[in-house]
Amino acid sequence: MSLLKRFEQAQARADAPNAGAVVPVPPPALPNPARAATREALLRDFRLRLQNEVMSASDSLLDVSDATDLRSKVEVIADRIIGAHGFAVTRDERLRLIEELVGEIGGLGPLDPLLRDETITEIMVNGPSHLYIERGGKIQRVDSAFLNDEHVLRIIDRIITPLGRRIDKLSPRVDARLPDGSRVNAVIEPLSLVGPVITIRKFPAKPITVDDLVRFGTATAEMFDFLKACVEARLNVFVSGGTGSGKTTTLNVLSAFIPEDERIVTIEDAAELQLRQVHIVKLESRPPNLEGHGEITIRDLLRNALHMRPDRIIVGECRSGEALDMLQAMTTGQDGSLSTGHANTPADMLRRLETMVLMTGYELPLRAIREQIASAVDLIVHTARLKDGSRKVVNITEVYGIEDDEILIQDIFVYEQTGVRDGKIEGVLKPTGIRPTFMGKFKASGIQLPPGEFGIPAEDPTRSGPVRQGKGRWIAGETLQPPDASRLPVGYGRAVSAGGMVYVSSMGPVDPETGQVISGAMKEQTRQCLGNLKARLEAAGSSLDKVVWANWSLRDPAEFDTFNEEWVRWFPGDAPIGQGTLMPPLQRRAGFRISIGVIAEA
């Protein structure tokens, strides 16, 4: 007789009513918690025996396609084993055991009910006995458990085998996906010291929409209208954020703004993007086979995608050297491409891109890498998971240039926390008062912005300084407006007469007819500066030959010899005395290589 059966009979005798007869006093009943623990241990032992016997017969069961037929066959096997071993189980325990066995054969065992629960966003298996879920942004442990390590390994194999992937001691980690698009990562020994580990990032069967994210409080409808305009204007966008902050969900929503008449190529490690357009080519990387051959990386797919006539390329996530290929695509005709990356801030995302480019093994100068990033990336949408578990868009940041070998960024919108109510953080994504340089792209693309332009301030005609025209790859599609003659932008210089002298402040290489900084090397910019200086001095009643002192500011001191060659042509013989200084940031941002200020006799 089984241990469980004997325990049941002894317990029944102990609980039987006493009719007054003198009977031996039974041993004291076990306390309820101890009884429950003992029974759970016995059920676990029975479950393991039952599972092993059903699994040994599962080859014939795997061919059963009808769920009802499968359940019937499992019930027959379970009842036979229960009867043969004399196990005493309640009706509810029997039903639960059969459900688990059906899940073992036709599903993913203890994971099945968790995957069906739409309120769960993440499932974490830390060995056979520790299962955790994320619900509402909070992690909690669940009562479910696997029987042993082999049980977990069987479930992992069931997930990855249809995808042609493998996991073993030679390759102890794997990325995969479920049929519904949920992302799966598995790690086994010797990497994991707690047994097989599974992490599942669930994706809803119905793609999340803008309305859903607005309802969740991720951002306002107005902000998504702004991001929609950015995508339609073909800005290159990176979505950054920490783990579990909602990057892929945000990327899915942004990709929905791409017009239907464009050809999209998506590239991922494990396909999880849920684009709804019709003209899509989905590519997925492939790990090496058992012999270590046949690997297809994201870099390989990116290079191949350039031959597939894409209008836009979407890379699920940049992790290493593929960042260089992504930047190349963004600047060679695939404007409007999108990707994601792990980072804590928008500035960190740019530094990670630098690191990822260096991971290619190419010995590229840091200046060249940063120039490529500054030219390719237009917008960073930064997401974060706050302390209350909510996910928010906390920064919309423009990347607008490079200065002193540093990439220039400015926040267009930032999340401002306003308070906490019932444990929930409240706040709003607010404009910073800075007008991005890409506003002209909207007009050039025929995009009508709503009144108020999302709270972005209008161009201030009284503001001193240069008119920034945006990136070079945009200029062909924009209508450049000549500067207002009433303004005094940087580089136009200012002449003041005092004490019989004329003082002229920094004169830059600005074409007086167009108001634009001339393109060209140091020699051409020096010639333009001196021409402007000559005209300004003559208008103030002086001339170049009356200059007694000069100050020149160079962007790069190494270009002094080139500057001096042009300088001595304009000042033959005794040139005025002077000194050189480093160029201030405002002039660098305007594109100056040189500016000149002088003191001359009136």
Residue with tokens 């945000």: 250
pLDDT at 602 over 60: yes
406-419 burial code (b ≥16 CB/10 A, e <16):
ebbbebbbbbeeee
Q: How far apart are the first and last CA of the chain?
A: 120
Query: Residues 577, 583, 586, 592: is their CA dihedral positive or negative?
Result: positive
Confidence of residue 482 (pLDDT cuts 50, 70, 90): very low
φ/ψ of residue 599, rounded to 5: -125, 130
Let me know: does 418 contact 429? Beta carbons within 8 Å.
Answer: no
Kindly report the average pLDDT of the chain as a whole number. Answer: 82
pLDDT at 472: 57
Residue with tokens 């660098």: 588
Residue type, 574: D
pLDDT at 192: 93
pLDDT at 182: 87
pLDDT at 173: 92
Mean local confidence (pLDDT), 543-555: 90
Give the C-alpha distances (Å, rounded to integers) separating 579 from 119, 509, 562, 597: 70, 19, 16, 10
Mean local confidence (pLDDT), 89-97: 79
Burial of residue 537 (number of CB atoms within 10 Å: 0-12, 13-18, 19+): buried
- HSE on the CB side for 96, CA within 13 Å? 12
Distance CA 361, CA 438 (A): 33
- How, if at all, do strands 280-284 and 264-268 pair? parallel
Give the C-alpha distances (Å, rounded to integers) separating 350 from 246, 247, 269, 501: 19, 16, 22, 49
pLDDT at 23 over 50: no
Query: Residues 364, 367, 371, 377: is their CA dihedral positive or negative?
Result: positive
Distance CA 533, CA 491 (A): 10
pLDDT of 320-360, one tens digit each?
A: 999 999 998 888 878 899 999 999 999 999 999 999 999 98
pLDDT at 19: 41
pLDDT at 467: 45
pLDDT at 468 over 80: no
pLDDT at 106: 64
Give the CA-trace dihedral at 111, 117, 122, 128, to 10 degrees: -20
Residue 230 token pair:
């950015």
* Angle between helical axes of 67-85 and 32-56 (0-180°, round to 10): 120
Q: Indicate yes or no: pTM above 0.75.
A: no
Mean local confidence (pLDDT), 202-217: 86
pLDDT at 14: 42
pLDDT at 464 over 70: no
pLDDT at 218 over 50: yes
Domains and CATH numbers, the chain: 3-14+27-106 (no CATH), 111-201 (3.30.450.370), 213-455 (3.40.50.300), 495-601 (3.30.1330.40)
Which tops the pLDDT comparison, 428 or 383? 383
pLDDT at 259 over 50: yes
Lowest-pLDDT choice from 151-155, 496-500, 519-523: 519-523
pLDDT at 473 over 70: no
Give the C-alpha distances (Å, rounded to integers) separating 19 from 10, 11, 22, 23, 115: 18, 18, 9, 10, 53
pLDDT at 487: 42
pLDDT at 376: 93
Cβ neighbors of 298 (< 8 A, separation 6 or more) are: 267, 268, 269, 285, 315, 319, 322
pLDDT of 43-63, one tens digit each?
A: 777 777 766 666 665 555 544
Distance CA 382, CA 404 (A): 25
Give the whole-number percent of the chain exceeding pLDDT 70.
84
Distance CA 534, CA 530 (A): 6
Confidence of residue 237 (pLDDT cuts 50, 70, 90): very high
pLDDT at 104: 67
Q: Is 291 helix (H, G, I), strand (E, B) or coil?
A: coil
pLDDT at 479: 41
